[in-house]
Structure 1
Amino acid sequence: MNARVLFDQGTPAPLRHSLAEHLVETAFERGWANLTNGELISLSEEAGFAVFVTTDRNLKYQQNLAARSLSIVVLRSTSWPRIQRAIPAVLAAINGAIPGGYIEVAID
């Protein structure tokens, strides 16, 4: 699929190694670490990112996501060991991302 993926601050960076077919950057790497979610999502869209991966489960209540062109993937944990066990579900969410989409990935 080769999508441009942006990781929010709470998304564990080692996850990028499981997304080898995608171009992954982090908000920190882009100098966007201190932006609000609204600013970060807008800049992400302007920069051409297709998927925004975050651990912020409140995002859907804070932002109007319906008009967005990028897809939001929310990981329901910040724990890297737990996320590692759910990598197939994370990959499925990212690979199936559609513009304006929103999906929460259950992490046990």
Structure 2
Amino acid sequence: MRILFDQGTPAPLRRWLSAHQVSTAYEQGWSTVTNGDLIRLAEQQGYDLLITTDTNLRYQQNLEDRTIAILVLSTTSWPRIKAAADQVVDVVADLASGDYCELRIP
């Protein structure tokens, strides 16, 4: 699976997703691209999943008819995400094209 991390997603999370091809918006030169355009670009470039920490995404964007799956993490805190990394991996494994999931991280 090709996964794109947005600007708020901690890059070290990619270590837990080593079975996948992970890139960041920064690495793609998309660090200043807004959410709607980022989703569109990711789909055009063949990404299967966008992992974001923007909890307002579903209110800001029309997510119907999207082919990319979207996983929203409830925090940008690396220590908290690291503690829940196995849960993130499990959720990623269950996502299908066009899915939208919000993962509450304690």
TM-score range normalised by the length of the shorter chain? over 0.9
Stretches of structure 1 that go unaligned for 5 or more consecutive residues are none
Q: Which residue of 1 aligns with 2:4?
A: 6
The match for 2:23 among 25, 32, 50 is: 25
Write out per-residue CA displacement over residues 39-81 of structure 1, whole angstroms, 9 at most, x where no aligned residue.
Answer: 0000000000000000000000011112100000000010000
Q: Is the 8 A contact 2:2 2:21 kept in 1?
A: yes
Q: Is the 8 A contact 2:16 2:86 kept in 1?
A: no
Count of equivalent residues: 106
Q: What amino acid sits opposite 1:81 in the alignment?
A: P
Q: Give the TM-score of the pair, scaled to structure 1.
A: 0.96
Alpha-carbon RMSD across the aligned residues, in angstroms, is 0.6
Q: Which residue of 2 aligns with 1:55?
A: 53
The yes-or-no answer on 1:86 pairing with 2:64 is: no
The CA distance in 1 between the partners of 2:20 and 2:76, in whole Å, is 21
Q: Which residue of 1 aligns with 2:105?
A: 107
Q: What amino acid sits opposite 2:8 in the alignment?
A: G
- The runs of 4+ residues in structure 1 deviating greater than 6 Å are none
The CA distance in 2 between the partners of 1:93 and 1:45, in whole Å, is 20
Stretches of structure 2 that go unaligned for 5 or more consecutive residues are none
The yes-or-no answer on 1:37 pairing with 2:32 is: no
Task: Note the C-alpha offset of 1:94.
Answer: 1.1
Q: Give the TM-score of the pair, scaled to structure 2.
A: 0.97
